[in-house]
Structure 1
């Protein structure tokens, strides 16, 4: 499963070779700062129109829309937990990744790109967010055989390196379990 996961530094709105990108959404599925703002700006006003009747969503939930002006087929919108407010934060964050992957599988999506959900303005500690994200993806992928590639698109090199180290740790733990 781990060979299907990659971590890169980049712009989530410019993932031309990926079927679906994941939006770090707010409850109302509106444009905002960070990932939501970047995706809404790149997608154009059609995304906001399609999102309107789907809102509000709750922490851990995921909904799917078209990608509009983005170079992808779909956008999956996830509302991550606000750290220290939405509890149990670890379960809600894991639910975001699990629900997004299961939604992608149901829609025949072969590749999906995630940002670091809740690790920005929602205040989740980055190392803990990376551990939850990657371990959830690794444990969920066996139930999603149609998904061939999962990409984590991180804003800066520090976040990319953190995710790569976390993935390597999971990989070495998985390898030792097989021995």
Structure 2
């Protein structure tokens, strides 16, 4: 019960923006890796050499990539295949892990594009629910984050986020 109340109080830290993510002045940007067929070639360096990335993972692509952001995080979002292949859990993992990276880098502001929507076919209605739930949970784990921005490309997705957040 307490957790639900706390998560509800974190909604003031969530904002919605319609437009290009590159115009936002945030410390971190999260975008979806969407080059189909190339996932098996993705790997990140670790102490054990290269570790392959899987759907639901995130990784820091670069630090200081743009004037407006300090780090760029790529999420390996799932392709929608009808909902029977753990797509929602994989999408939730993307948001959760991105929020964990933000905590690791002491990020105070972060912007997300709609992960897996568009070319990967995830229904915006379902993706929005997953995104908001995971961001609320992430904010509960990280009081340092002052602002999370959902950056939407079109008015329909923007309206969907606004209605779900009551904004």
Number of residue equivalences: 147
1:67 offset after TM fit, Å?
A: 3.7
Give structure 1 stretches of 5+ with no counterpart: 31-50, 172-179
Q: Is the 8 A contact 1:20 1:72 kept in 2?
A: yes
- 2:80 is aligned to 83
- 1:59 is aligned to 55
| In 1: Cα distance, 2:72 partner to 2:17 partner | 19
Q: Deviations over 1:72-92 (max 9, x none)?
A: 100011011101178201100
| 1:100 to 2:98 alignment | yes
Give structure 2 stretches of 5+ with no counterpart: 1-9, 46-50
Higher relative strand content: 2
Q: 1:81 to 1:52 in 2, by over 3 A?
A: closer
Moved over 6 A (4+): none
Q: Deviations over 1:92-145 (max 9, x none)?
A: 001100000011011110000001111111101111110110111112211011
- 1:125 is aligned to 123
- 1:10 is aligned to 19
Q: TM-score, normalised by structure 2?
A: 0.80
| 1:74 to 2:83 alignment | no
Partner-residue secondary structure (3-state), 2:17: strand
| In 1: Cα distance, 2:31 partner to 2:67 partner | 12
| In 1: Cα distance, 2:12 partner to 2:140 partner | 12
1:136-155 matches, within 5 Å, as 136-155=134-153
| In 1: Cα distance, 2:44 partner to 2:90 partner | 23
Across the aligned residues of Structure 1 and Structure 2, the Cα RMSD in angstroms comes to 2.3
Partner-residue secondary structure (3-state), 1:60: coil
Q: 1:12 to 1:18 in 2, by over 3 A?
A: same
Q: Is the 8 A contact 2:34 2:119 kept in 1?
A: no
Higher relative helix content: 1
1:52 offset after TM fit, Å?
A: 7.5
